[in-house]
Chain A
Amino acid sequence: MEVYEVFRQEREGAPMQHSGNLLAPDPELASHYAREFYGRRQESVRLWIVPRAAIRDLSDPDLLQPPLDRSFKKPVGYSADIKRKLAAARDRLGVGSAGEPEAEDPVVAAGRKGAEQA
């Protein structure tokens, strides 16, 4: 007996989603059982039936959850870092904090001018 993981598609164009798993003695019966478990109420237009043994499992924390900070690899992490740098630059230039949105931010303006000259 082998475990099969079953994915189903609810309608054409929808993503394949993991539905669950089942036990079967061989791939043919696995297909029949998948049809009964995840298709007998006409809730699927396609099923993928995958022997669990064929799935490469990757769960090593050294690969997926490395200990060093990786926040700069996330869009939100990058913007947080930029905000911190902006605040520091404002302090250096002695201008106000981010509470005055009307005026162009001097740091942004300096950057824009630099880009125009280049």
Chain B
Amino acid sequence: MSTSLPATGPEAAAQLDEPTREALAELLLAMADDEFVIGFWDSEWTGIAPLLEEDVAFSSLAQDEIGHAQVLYQLLAELRDADPDRIAFGRGAQEYRHARLLDHPRTDWAFSIARRFLYDTADAVRLDLLAASSYAPLAGVVAKMRREETYHLLHATAWVERLAGGGEEPRRRLQDALERLWPDALCVLAPLEGDRRLVEAGVLAEPLADGEQRWLTGLAPLLERLGLPFPFRRAGARLEPAVERPASPRGDHSASFEWLWGEFTSVYRSDPEAAW
């Protein structure tokens, strides 16, 4: 662990060496884009969720994710002395660094729940790895995000259990969604170029690949109990995927995402200089 840094962004950023700053920027961008994109996909359920109460709940969860993206873009902006709105809205679709799990369209309810469950559980592990980060501004933000994510996890797990035990059709839809999503879910904790350096600097507790093992080990009992797809083989103490890992975990985005990007940047692109 390195010595602790001051809590304000610009000063903390100034104390990092250039390669560590680059590695941290890569991690922050990946996390912020993940939260931003899932927030926009899930906000598409506003008005059409299975029941009014769920409509409010799911829309509120989506708003939380946009809020998390906002604070992460802010941290990134301090690191690079840039404008957070420009980072969030001013890039081309293929410049986003969200995981391929978030390239799929909303699809049906079981699909959106399956994705949220896979994403939230993986993201929870990522947040755990950052809870004691030597980069104080990030540790502070993560502490707040984890408190909100506790509820997100309860909500997603409640729905997975209900769809799994909710009769033939909900169960089949959930199974199909998980089978389709598992390879791309492996992109959330896929190694980043600089994650070893972040571990050395105490920014990240462990490499993301070790986090992925924690994530899978944690998920196994629930998915096995519910008899849901879990395509992994035990190789000694490790779980190895029985599906192929996508070659480009955070790039080569889909046409669906390009459509979503067109939606969520449309206002910004109409006048990038406007003050909102």
Contacts and interface: CB of A to CB of B under 8 A. Distances in A.
Interface stretch (A11-19, A23-31, A101-109): A23-31
Given A23-B51, A35-B151, A28 B56 contact: no
A23 B52 contact: yes
B53 A22 contact: yes
Nearest to A37: B56
B162 A32 contact: no
Nearest to B56: A36
A40 B62 CA distance: 13
B73 to A, nearest CB: 22
A22 B56 CA distance: 11
B158 A24 contact: no
Interface in A11-59: 22-26, 28-29, 32-33, 35-37, 40
A1 B52 CA distance: 12
A24 B60 contact: no
A63 B37 CA distance: 59
Interface centre among A25, A28, A32 (most CB of B within 10 A): A32
B192 interface: no
Contacts of A29: 53-54, 158, 162
B155 interface: yes
B57 interface: yes
Given A23-B51, A25-B162, A32 B56 contact: no
Nearest to B57: A36
A28 B158 contact: yes
Contacts of B7: none
A8 to B, nearest CB: 16
Interface residues of B, number: 12
B148 to A, nearest CB: 10
Given A25-B162, A28-B158, A33 B60 contact: no
B1 interface: no
B243 interface: no
B60 A40 contact: yes
B162 A33 contact: no
B154 interface: yes
B208 to A, nearest CB: 30
Contacts of B54: 29, 33
A58 to B, nearest CB: 28
B52 A32 contact: no
Given A25-B162, A37-B56, A40-B60, A32 B154 contact: yes
B151 A24 contact: no
Contacts of B155: 32
B51 A36 contact: no
A21 to B, nearest CB: 10
Interface of A: 1, 22-26, 28-29, 32-33, 35-37, 40
Interface of B: 51-54, 56-57, 60, 151, 154-155, 158, 162
16 contacts: A1-B51, A22-B53, A23-B51, A23-B52, A23-B53, A24-B53, A28-B158, A29-B53, A32-B57, A32-B154, A32-B158, A33-B56, A36-B53, A36-B56, A36-B60, A37-B56
Given A32-B155, A36-B57, A40-B60, 19 more contacts: A22-B53, A23-B51, A23-B52, A23-B53, A24-B53, A25-B162, A26-B162, A28-B158, A29-B53, A29-B54, A29-B158, A29-B162, A32-B57, A32-B154, A32-B158, A33-B54, A35-B151, A36-B60, A37-B56
